[in-house]
Structure 1
Amino acid sequence: MDLKEISDRLEINDVLIRYTRAIDTGEWDKLDTVFTAEASINYTESGGVDADFATVKPWLAEMLPAFFPKRMHTLGQVDIAVDGDTATASAYFHNPMPMADGEGGEKIVEIGGIYHHELVRTPDGWRSRKLHEEVVWKKNI
C-alpha cells in the first residue's frame, strides 16, 4: 500500500465518521460534506426512504428527531477498496437509540447492520454517491 492509497483510505474513513456524527448530532448540513448532490440513499431496510440526497436530507432532519431524539452510532469492521477516483466502503454499525415506549417511558431500540457506500473523488475530497443501509438485526422494534 503506497502513501496515496493510505491517504485515500484515511479520507474515506473520515467521510464515514462525518456521516455518523452528522446523524447523531443532528448537524444535517454536515451531510453536504459526506454526499454528492446527486447521491442515492436507501434506508428501506430500516423502514425509511430510498431517494436522492436532496430528498433524504430534509427527511432525516424531520423524522429522526421526532422518533429518536438521541442517536449514537458505533462503526467497526471498515472495509475500503480504492480504484483510482472511485471506491467502495462497507462498515459494520451498531446504533442504539432511545424512543418513547408508548406508556410514558422510553425503551432502547437497537439496529445493527452494514453501511455500503460507493464513493467518488471530487474537487472537495471523497464523497459518497450511493449509500445502502443493510440491516442485519434489530432489537426492541
Structure 2
Amino acid sequence: MQAEIIDVVNRIGLMADRRDWQACRDVFSDHVETDYTSLNGGQPTSVNADDLINGWKAFFTQTFTTIQHLIGSHVVTITGDRAICLSNFQAHHVYLDTQKGTWTLGGFYEHTLVHTAEGWRVNRMKMTWTWEQGTRP
C-alpha cells in the first residue's frame, strides 16, 4: 500500500515534467487543497483539479523550456482510507527567456491522499519552501 501511495506522489512531478497533463490530473481527487503559502504568502486554496492542472500547464509552458522535479525520502502514514506522505523535493526550472537562466527550489511536500474506487488520490498538497537559487518568476 505504501508503494502505491509513493507512486501517486511521484507521478505528480514526473508527469508535469513530461508535460503529460492528463496523467498528472489522474492522481488528484476532483477538488484539491493547495498550500503554497511558504513561497507566495496568502492562504491555502481549494481548487478544482482540472483548473489546477490547466493553470500548471499554462504557467510551465509559457515560462520554462524544461522542468525537473525530484521527489524522494518518502515517509508514509496510513490511517484507514486516508494517508499522508511527507517527501523532500527539488525542482529545477529552465526559463524560455535565456536571460533569466534557471530557478531551482527545494524543500518538502506533505501530500494527503484518500483511497477511492480508482485507487489513491491526492486531495491536499502542501509545499514548504526552504531554499532557492536563481531567478524567481
- What's the TM-score once normalised by structure 1's chain length? 0.84
The share of aligned pairs that are identical, in percent, is 23
**Distance of 1:60 and 1:42 partners within structure 2:** 14
Q: Deviation of residue 11 (structure 1)?
A: 0.2
Match of 2:71 in 1: 75
Q: Which runs of 5+ in 2 are unaligned?
A: none
Match of 1:28 in 2: 21
Q: Which runs of 5+ in 1 are unaligned?
A: 1-7
| Cα distance per residue 1:8-61 (max 9 Å; x no partner) | 100001101111111111111112321100122233444498441232111111
Instruction: From 128, 133, 136, give the equivalent of 2:127.
Output: 133
Instruction: From 118, 122, 132, give the equivalent of 2:112.
Output: 118
Q: Matched residue of 1:11: which SS? A: helix
Say which one has the larger Rg.
Answer: 1
**Regions of 4+ moved over 6 Å:** none
Distance 1:43 1:54, change over 3 A: farther
Structure with the higher fraction of residues in strand conformation:
2
Structure with the higher fraction of residues in helix conformation:
1
Q: Matched residue of 2:85: which SS? A: strand
**Distance of 1:47 and 1:67 partners within structure 2:** 17
**Distance of 1:93 and 1:136 partners within structure 2:** 10
Distance 1:118 1:41, change over 3 A: same
Match of 2:93 in 1: 97
| Cα distance per residue 1:92-133 (max 9 Å; x no partner) | 0011111155xx545121000111111110001001110011
1:56 has 2:49 as partner = no
